[in-house]
Structure 1
Amino acid sequence: MRALIQRVSTANVSIEGEAVGQIGPGLVILICAMQGDGDDAPAKMAAKIAKLRVFKDDDGKMNRSILDTGGSALIVSQFTLAGDTSRGNRPGFSAAAAPEDGRAAYEAFIAEVQALGITTQTGRFGADMAVSLTNDGPVTLWLEI
């Protein structure tokens, strides 16, 4: 699994102009299931993200997790994180999980994040979505499990 996370002060996702999810302070998590991911990948990724110390403490240092702050997560499926640009100018996406496997992993990841007690909003798997956010910091991290 691959994820791109951004610490945000606010974020939302809309489909055909209709807001389907929005959060205040927290994390936007763009998530992609990859071919060969084990069944435990969603749980491992959720646990890793939940414990990442990317929020400021009272001294202004990144020393607090989303669990510590009570922040929210906006989770959006994004198969383009599997993009391979090593040859030519058009990305290839053959490393992404098949759509049915990707959907199952996405839904499992959401369930794992929610089970950790994190307030969660989502996009819609396979939809053409518009994501808007205010990156706080900016803080952006790439994760791979």
Structure 2
Amino acid sequence: MATAEACPKARVVIQQCLNARLQVQPPSGEKEAEYVEVGRGIVIYLCFLKGATEDLVQKMVRSILAVRLSESEPNGKLVSVLDLPGDVLIVPQATLGGKTKGKAMQYHSNIAKIEGQELYTKFCTVCAETFEINTNTKEANKTVKHGTYGNRQVLSVVTNGPYTHVLDF
């Protein structure tokens, strides 16, 4: 059995994309659905697990935005999304914390919803702030967009992969 220190506190899936579109508010009454869109860059699927703290958020953002997973043009050399420069779409994904028990999924290792929402908001804020101070992304007018925590969302991704990585923090 793994010790509490060895258990991940967050799970992230990073997928390279050419573009992505995420519904952040479903249609209701006479109001149409709302979407956010990004161009070339990465999609970050994010789940916080029990034991996650704000200190972890800073470490995660630094690591995710600096890791060389994006192909530059024309040589195909791997660079970070900050060096590309590229957009970022952050999608809350509580199902990443699931484990099977028999034929069902259980989410006992996920953080409480209120704490998860606070950490998700912090993660989105720190990513956006990092983009604001980065010369490459600022000059290229690149952005960080994010989904709505706790909502079911419709996602469309065009990728030149699949080029997907799972990271535990």
Tell me if TM exceeds 0.5: yes
Please report the TM-score for the alignment, with normalisation by the length of structure 1: 0.92
Query: What's the counterpart of residue 69 of structure 1?
Result: 84
1:14-64 per-residue CA deviation (whole Å, 9 max, x = no partner) reads 132523211010111110111011321111111111011012244223x21
The structural deviation recorded for 1:69 is 1.0
Percent identical: 29
Unaligned runs of 5+ in 1: none
Count of aligned positions? 143
**Alpha-carbon distance in structure 2 between the residues aligned to 1:42 and 1:91:** 26
**Partner amino acid, structure 1, of 2:109:** A
TM-score by length of 2: 0.80
Match of 2:43 in 1: 28
| The one of 91, 95, 98 aligned to 2:109 | 95
For 2:125 and 2:26, locate their aligned partners in 1 and report how far apart those are by CA, in whole Å: 25
Q: Quick one: distance in 2 between partners of 1:135 and 1:88? A: 33
Number of the residue aligned with 1:132: 156
**Partner Cα distance (2:36, 2:57) in 1:** 21
Unpaired runs of 5+ residues, structure 2, are 1-9, 28-32, 132-136, 138-142
- Determine the C-alpha separation between the residues in 1 that align with 2:98 and 2:35: 26
Indicate the residue corresponding to 1:121 in structure 2: 145
Q: Per-residue displacement from partner, 1:56-113 (whole Å, max 9, x unpaired)?
A: 244223x21000012111111111000012x211110011100000000100100111
Larger radius of gyration: 2
Q: Per the alignment, in what secondary structure is the counterpart of residue 89 of structure 2?
A: strand
SS at match of 2:114: helix
Alignment correspondent of 2:94: 79
The one-letter amino acid paired with 1:59 is N
Aligned residues: CA RMSD:
1.3
